[in-house]
Each structure stands twice: as C-alpha cells, then as structure tokens.
Structure 1
Amino acid sequence: MAEEQKEVRAVLQGNGEFTKNLYSILAKKPGNVFFSPISIHAILSLAYQGAKGKTQEAFTKALNVPDGRVAATGYKDVMTRLNSVNNVTLLIANKLFLQESFKLQESFKDVAVQQFLSEVELLNFKQPVSAAASINSWVEKKTNDKIRDLINPDDISDDTALILVNAIYFKGKWAEPFDAEYTKTEKFYLNDNDTVDVQMMHLTRKFYYKNDESLDAKVLELPYANKDISLIVVLPNKRNGIEELENKLATTDLTRITDNMFKPEVSVALPKFKIEQTIDLKSPLTELGLGVIFGRDADLSGLIQTTDSLYVSKVIQKAFIEVNEEGAEAAAATGMIMGLRAAFLPLPPETVVVDHPFGIYLVQREGPLVHVLFSGRVNHPKE
C-alpha cells in the first residue's frame, strides 16, 4: 500500500511539473488558455508503455516520472479514484482504436487494459469517415456531448495504425452557490486601459485564501459539493500582472499551491465565463522535448505487432469549461494518432474582485497535494 501511495504521489507530482511546463508554452499565445493536463499526461503515459530507447528516455523526462512502471501503477490508482468521486460528476477514460489488420503487443495490451483501464476497439482506418465518427461518438458520450468532432476524417490516413484517446468530464455544483440575484454587469479590465462588460457574480462566505507575496497574487479556493474538488483562482495584484504571474508560476510547485492558506470571510466577485479551445499539441510537445515521437526515429515498437516503424502523427486536445452561479462544467478529450512510416482566528473580511486577467486550476485534493485536472488563463471572459 505504501508503495502504491509512493507511485500515486510520483504521478501527481509529475503531472504538476508537466502542467506548468506545458502551460508556459501554451501561454505564449495571446488570449484565453484552457486545457486538461491530466488528459494529455495520461494518454502520453499510456504511449510511454510501448516506447524504447531514446524515445522512452524522452517520455521519462517530459512526463517527469521515474519510469513507465511507476506511471502505469500510479495511473491505475489515480483513474480509479477520479472515477469514484462522490457528489460531483467526474469521469476519465482511455480508449485505444487500432487498425483492424494489426494486433497490439500482448504486454502493452495487458498494461493498457489493467493499469490504464483502457478499452480497445478495432476500426478500419481505410474508411476515415466512419472511423472518425466511431471515435467522436465515444468522446461525445464520455464528455456529456461537450466535446464534439475531436478527430476529423482528414486526420486519418492510410498509414494510421493506432489512435489513443483520453476523455475527461467534470460537472459540479458549488458547495456555496452564488445567488443569481446578485449577478450584475460590471467592468473587466483587459489591461490597464481597456475594459469589457461582464456578468459578475457575488458571494461572501468563508473560503480558503491567501495573499501570496512570492506570486504577488491572491489565491482563492472555491470548493464544490465534494470539497476535495475545487476551483483555484490565482489573481495577480496588478491589473496587468498576468504575464509576471505566469513567469512565477513556472517555478512554483503546483501540487502545493494551496499551502499556508487560511479561512477568513471573503467577499468574492467572479465573472461568469465559458472557454472552448482546440489545441494541436505537436509543436508544444516538441518544445517539451517529445519531438522524437513524431519522427522516423521514434521507437514505439512495444505498442503493436508490426515490422514497420510506428510514429505519432497528431496529438490533439479539445477542452471546454463553463463557470456560472451553480458551479462549473468542464470537459476535455485528447487524441494521439499514430501512423506507420513508417482552523483560524477571526479576521476582517478579505475582498477578492476578479476584474482582470487571472489563472485557474480545477483540482482534486490528495492529502496535502492537489492534482491538477484542468488549467488555464482567463484573459477575456467573453471570448
């Protein structure tokens, strides 16, 4: 049991490092950012099981886990726990779609099914329209119809041998819902000068909170009906401080971002927002050091039974979040397409007015650590 806990902790910490490293790359582009790091980390960890040589080394470094066995054992526990959370809807699932003329390596099939709780389905990728429809139907079902058309028929070619998909879906009501009666139109500052009108929600309750001097930001935890799941809002103290905050978060241990918080009365103003994004992850993952999986030098020979070389042609994620008075709904799906080439003293009320760009983390607590399920930046609540 202690060994399993150690491996779960390794996966959580690896996912935390992976989150901030990938976020730093995605945040270079302007606008909103929203993605599910665990969805990407999980599906890459599954592919890692069939990697060898330098490709295996690249996975180890990028995923920040000691080795494939630790990733597999840790994810079995993580996925089992995530799928058994009470009082909110939280679902995470893996599935392998394999060209029907191929077979998985038995050792890989065993770890995929037993450790990653993955389903396996044979498809005919020579018929890309029907193959894409089958994959997208599964994703839609797993994400309550929030993620549609993850895979386009054009993503599938005659060389496609294997598509790995992870889907994650969350819907939860706040432990302390916002009263819609107090929601009103207010200004949100896009920068020091420009504003946009948003629907701002208001609530005063006791929440875990801190003014983090090292981040020069306020950190607020808004729990859901299951208080192990919460939305962490990180609000820079300066209206134009989001870039500076992101630079500091890049060297912060995200699994411990809620350390040293206290629970005062907090007056919260939070904008309603909805973000939906599609991210082609080939370039970001290459920047993370995983470029080898996309090229002819990839060694993924432990995945399927073939004499041809297997490589990754695409890694795509679609992610969605909506935050309103009742709570939040979030979903993401990541597809990896492989081809052959080859307790506290009372204090005065605190005020957190989220009226300028801020960071968000949707997390699950695991003891003193937090597990980042979704991560993002809200630059514009209405885009």
Structure 2
Amino acid sequence: MRISIFIAFVINFSSFDCQNGPTELSRLNFFDIDLLKYTAEDRPGNVIISPASIKSTLAMILEGAAGNTEDEIRSALRLSAYKDEFREQLNAYLSLLRVNTPGVTVENANAVFVSNKLKLKKEFEMMVQKVYLSDLRQVDFSYPFNVSELINKWVFEKTKGLIPGLLDAANISPKAEMILANALYFKGNWANAFNSRYTRPGCFYRGNTCINVAMMELHAEVKYAYVDNLRAHAVELPYAGGEYSMILLVPLDRDGSGQLIRDLPYMSLPQISQLLEPADIRLVMPKFTIDYTENMALPLRNMRIESLFTKNANLSGIYDGASSQVDNIIHKVHMSVDEKGTVAAASSVAMVIPLIGADLQVRVDRPFVFFIRSNKMGLVLFEGRIDQPNPVENYVEPAKIVKNGNPNRRLSNPYF
C-alpha cells in the first residue's frame, strides 16, 4: 500500500507589539531548524515551509507507526518514547494551532482520506480524531478525479480560497489506500502597519545583481540585535495582541544566507531572542507574493526519517493486511506580504546604518531568513528564506553613495 500526503499552507501577516517574556527552549524547536536546514541549504530560490503543519501530518503517521519507522519519527520530533506521553505532547501542540483574536487567526485542519475498501484499526481511527483532531473520510481511489476534487475543495475551504488547487488527479494512483492532508491558515495584522505612501521601488540584491522590487518602510520601536555568532542582524516584528512574532535574520554579506542557515542549528531562536533589545528603527523591506510547492520526502529522509518512504515502512498500527509506505509529502504555501500584513511575512536586516540620535536604518535588500512563532510556547509556525521577491518594471536604480570607493565595504562599526 502507498500513502500520499498533501499539505497546504496559507499565511497572512502584519506586525505586532509582543510582550515577550523568557522563552522556554523546546526540544520541538530542534526539528524546526533541522527542517529549514535540509530544505533550504545549498538551494537557490525562495523556500517557505511550515514545520507546524508538517509536524501535524507526521503526528498522524506516528500514531500508526511501529518499529524503526516509529523510532525514526519520534527521534526527529524529539518526542517521548512512551505513546501516552507523546500523544499528550502532540495534542497540546495541535491545540495551540487554533487561535481567533482581533489581530491574529490561526486555523489548523487535518484530514485522513481512506479507501472504502479498507477497515482501519479502531484505536487508530479513534486517536486520529480525538488526539490529532482529524477529519476521517472514505473515498474510492478507483476514481482519481473525484478524489482530487474532494481534497481540493477541502483545502480551498480550509485556506479561505487562497489555495484553489493542491492535488492533480494525475498524482493519485488508483491503487492508493490513503491520503493524509493538512491545511494551515494564518492571518495576522501588524501592530505597526507600514505606511503605503513610503512604498517605492528599490534594489534587492542577489550577489551583485540588483532586482527592482517594491520596498515598504516602517518607522517604529521594535526589538533588534546584531548576532555576532551568525554574522547577521535580527529584528523582531510583533503581531497584534502580542502572542505571535516574526523574527527576521539578515546576513551581513549579500550571499550569506546559505552560511546563516548552516549556522542556525548552533544558535537557537530563544538564544537569539534573549539578545534582542528595543530600538527605534527605520525598516525598509520588500513587499511580495510567493507560491511555493515542495516534496518534503527528501528533506525528511535527510533528517533520518528513512524507512517511512521505503518498502520497509512499518505502519502496522493503521490497519491489518498488506504492508504500506508513504510515497511523498507534497507541501504548498501561499504567502503574501504588504503594508497591512496579509499572507505570510518575511523580513530581514541587510544593512544597518546609524542615523542621527538613537535611530537605526535597517534595509532588507538581500536574501534573508524569517520565522513566525508563538511567543507563549516558542514554537515555530512558519519559516523560510526569501531569495526572490516580486520584481517591478521600469525602474532605474539611483546613484549609490560610495564610501572610500567601495559601496560594499564593511566599516568597523557593526551596524554597517
């Protein structure tokens, strides 16, 4: 038997003031950093993933896994070896992915589409519904078109219409036995919205190449730090209500995003957060809309979840009968960032120039890394690297101010 997994994410972001207390270092965060490393390292282009959604899906698989397959998933997620304990951990985690406040909405939905020719084990059927908060539906895989329509309609509804088509009928085998699906929707309003009057074309650099993009501008007090261990600037943008934040990491070097991602496993987000201090910032960052699709099987195999994707997979807790394996895990994200916030935000600090007084100018003008996280638990909802914002046409780059003949020279002050 082969199981396919399809994941859809929609993120809406804005900025917020967060009352961020000390953050407990959660072992679940290790999975988040590993996932970003193995998805984005040494790979060009935009990368946008949701470790929260992927963990939601792996949680359903883990319930039916046994032997090496169970051990590999538990180890990657850093969960307890005892089933009762990791069920409790995952149920609490999934419960956090349901938020409805005036400033932030988070909706996480799981679904299991199972062949009408199969009979699930009663324990698995009960647990996926009660512990993993999943819908359970029977389908006839003999009609792939009907199945794709049903799943796409489900994803369309759960993502408020922002992902209209996740799954093509050609991707569904008539011999398939089960499809696990997840849809995660996030909408947030910036506590301090960008003023659209200040949005104008500007350079976003990939190496020495200037890509003209729409640059937004914000003048506000936010948390900032230069993280010497990462050779990167960090900025925290809060969402309304203070429960969620976006952390922006911008490498000092224009081509430094790859090295930054390689270094992140040695510098946790809680450690970075402890370095952040309030500062008056003039932030300039790109406005963009990005659609991202990825098969997550290879990154997960590199994270030592290997047997799941082979004939040696042990998913004996799902149903009796033939052996099964997971074919692929398809992950799709729609992210849009504008002055109000909307779908998925990412920002980073590229160059920081001291202005008169205490103000800092922070320009996000090169590939950068971002995280969207819950401040209460320190858990990451979304993460990625923005490498190619949407270009704008018919723009001529203004003359550069050159210091001592070299526009890219790093001065002794770490803010340059």
TM-score where L is the length of structure 2: 0.81
Are 2:356 and 1:372 equivalent residues in the alignment?
no
Q: CA deviation at 1:256?
A: 4.5
> Distance in 2 between the 1:178 and 1:92 partners?
28
Match of 1:293 in 2: 308
What letter matches 1:222 in structure 2?
Answer: L
Using the TM superposition, name which of 242-251 and 352-361 deviates more. Answer: 242-251
Q: CA deviation at 1:247?
A: 1.5
What letter matches 1:251 in structure 2?
Answer: Y
Query: Is contact 2:28–2:78 with CA below 8 Å preserved after alignment?
Result: yes
> Distance in 2 between the 1:179 and 1:70 partners?
48
1:354 corresponds, among 364, 372, 381, to 364
What letter matches 1:356 in structure 2?
Answer: R
Match of 2:91 in 1: 76
Residues 87-166 of structure 1 aligned to structure 2 (within 5 Å)? 87=102, 88-166=104-182
Match of 2:243 in 1: 228
> Distance in 1 between the 2:272 and 2:156 partners?
32
Residues 1-383 of structure 1 aligned to structure 2 (within 5 Å)? 13-27=26-40, 28-67=42-81, 68-87=83-102, 88-191=104-207, 193-304=208-319, 306-330=320-344, 348-366=358-376, 369-382=377-390
Using the TM superposition, name which of 167-176 and 231-240 deviates more. Answer: 231-240
Greater relative contact order, per chain length (Cα 8 Å cut-off, separation 6+): 2
SS in 2 for 1:174: coil
Q: Tell me, which stretches of 5 or more residues in structure 2 are unaligned?
A: 1-22, 346-356, 392-416
> Distance in 2 between the 1:74 and 1:167 partners?
20
Query: Is contact 2:296–2:331 with CA below 8 Å preserved after alignment?
Result: yes
> Distance in 1 between the 2:364 and 2:216 partners?
10
SS in 1 for 2:294: strand
> Distance in 2 between the 1:14 and 1:122 partners?
35
> Distance in 2 between the 1:255 and 1:219 partners?
12
> Distance in 1 between the 2:270 and 2:188 partners?
21
Q: Tell me, which stretches of 5 or more residues in structure 1 are unaligned?
A: 1-8, 332-346
> Distance in 2 between the 1:275 and 1:69 partners?
39
Post-superposition Cα deviations, 1:100-157, rounded to whole Å, max 9, x if no partner, equal: 1212211112221111111111111111100111011111111111223222212222
Which one has the bigger helix percentage?
Answer: 1
TM-score where L is the length of structure 1: 0.88
Residues paired across the two proteins, number:
355
> Distance in 2 between the 1:255 and 1:371 partners?
10
> Distance in 2 between the 1:256 and 1:370 partners?
11
Query: Is contact 1:201–1:270 with CA below 8 Å preserved after alignment?
Result: yes
Query: Is contact 1:58–1:290 with CA below 8 Å preserved after alignment?
Result: yes
Q: CA deviation at 1:267?
A: 1.2
Q: Structure 1 residues 176, 152: closer, same or farther in 2, change over 3 A?
A: same
Query: Is contact 1:15–1:41 with CA below 8 Å preserved after alignment?
Result: no
Query: Is contact 1:16–1:255 with CA below 8 Å preserved after alignment?
Result: no
Query: Is contact 1:45–1:71 with CA below 8 Å preserved after alignment?
Result: no
> Distance in 2 between the 1:104 and 1:254 partners?
40
> Distance in 1 between the 2:270 and 2:244 partners?
13
SS in 2 for 1:144: coil
> Distance in 2 between the 1:116 and 1:130 partners?
26
Query: Is contact 2:56–2:94 with CA below 8 Å preserved after alignment?
Result: no
Structure possessing the higher radius of gyration over alpha carbons: 2
> Distance in 1 between the 2:133 and 2:53 partners?
14
Query: Is contact 2:371–2:380 with CA below 8 Å preserved after alignment?
Result: yes
Q: CA RMSD in A?
A: 1.9
Q: CA deviation at 1:380?
A: 1.4
SS in 2 for 1:49: helix
Q: Structure 1 residues 16, 328: closer, same or farther in 2, change over 3 A?
A: farther
> Distance in 1 between the 2:56 and 2:96 partners?
14
What letter matches 2:101 in structure 1?
Answer: N
What letter matches 1:91 in structure 2?
Answer: E
Q: Structure 1 residues 148, 301: closer, same or farther in 2, change over 3 A?
A: same
Q: CA deviation at 1:47?
A: 0.4
List, as ranges, runs of 4+ consecutive aligned residues in structure 1 with deviation greater than 6 Å. none
What letter matches 2:285 in structure 1?
Answer: L
Q: CA deviation at 1:255?
A: 4.8
What letter matches 2:36 in structure 1?
Answer: Y
